[in-house]
Amino acid sequence: MAEDEPRFEDDEKFRQFEERYNFLVEDAKRHFGQWDMCDPVVWAIVRLVQAQNDLANAVCEVVDGNAPERMIEDAITERREAIAALTEAFEQEPRGLI
């Protein structure tokens, strides 16, 4: 466990952490801004979010013993490719499509 990862001494602290996390996620979704389906940065962000979800799911599947570890490696590869795609999209359209 990394030093900056939260440690939970009891279920109540975990519940509070989870509530704070959920609040921050919902707040970010509400105030993220205008999504433009023609903007390549938007598509790159969506790809990255999906890659992150796939990685989390792969970790769960492997830990549960339902999938081979290769599933995590593939998910990490896709996440890295999604990060590269987002970087490229920012370089091509640094100010968006305005």
Residue 91 has pLDDT above 80, yes or no: yes
Residue 1 has pLDDT above 50, yes or no: no
Q: Tell me the torsion sign for CA atoms 7, 66, 25, 82.
A: positive
The reported pLDDT for the residue numbered 74 is 96
* 38 contacts 31 by C-beta, under 8 angstroms: no
pTM: 0.66
The reported pLDDT for the residue numbered 48 is 94
Q: Domains of the chain by range and CATH?
A: 36-98 (1.10.287)
Q: What is the dihedral of CA 73, 78, 79, 82, to 10 degrees?
A: 160
Residue 6 — very low, low, confident or very high, per pLDDT cuts 50/70/90?
low
* 48 contacts 79 by C-beta, under 8 angstroms: yes
What is the per-residue pLDDT across 28-67, written as a single tens digit (0 to 9) for each?
777 776 667 778 888 898 899 999 999 999 999 999 998 9
